[in-house]
Amino acid sequence: NAGVTQTPKFQVLKTGQSMTLQCAQDMNHNSMYWYRQDPGMGLRLIYYSASEGTTDKGEVPNGYNVSRLNKREFSLRLESAAPSQTSVYFCASIEQGWYGYTFGSGTRLTVV
């Protein structure tokens, strides 16, 4: 099925470990986004990529890096995980001229 695929779905990290969250979309969307969801706070934007080859910081970028590998893939990297990064992470993409996001199913990350 067409959509946004995130891997992994669940992950437990120890403080200081690194990992990369993968996101791929097969809808030929230009723009892709990474959000995190914490209890009682809604979703907050970490980084986004308006088009292939560009990335920009969102509201909460500290502790993260991103790579827009190609038009399909947008990865999020935690270089040194901290307990404050325990959250649910959503990747999303949008079609040019329409703002109906397609969200991935989310990655539940726990940092201990």
Residue ranges that bind other proteins, judged by CB under 8 A: 31, 33, 35, 40-45, 48, 50, 56, 58, 88, 90, 92, 94, 99-101, 103, 105-106, 108
Whichever of 14 and 96 has its CB closer to other proteins, that residue is: 96
Distance CA 28, CA 42 (A): 27
Distance CA 110, CA 59 (A): 21
Distance CA 102, CA 48 (A): 14
Whichever of 53 and 100 has its CB closer to other proteins, that residue is: 100
Residue appearing with tokens 């990747």: 91
> Nearest distance from residue 56's CB to other proteins, in Å?
7
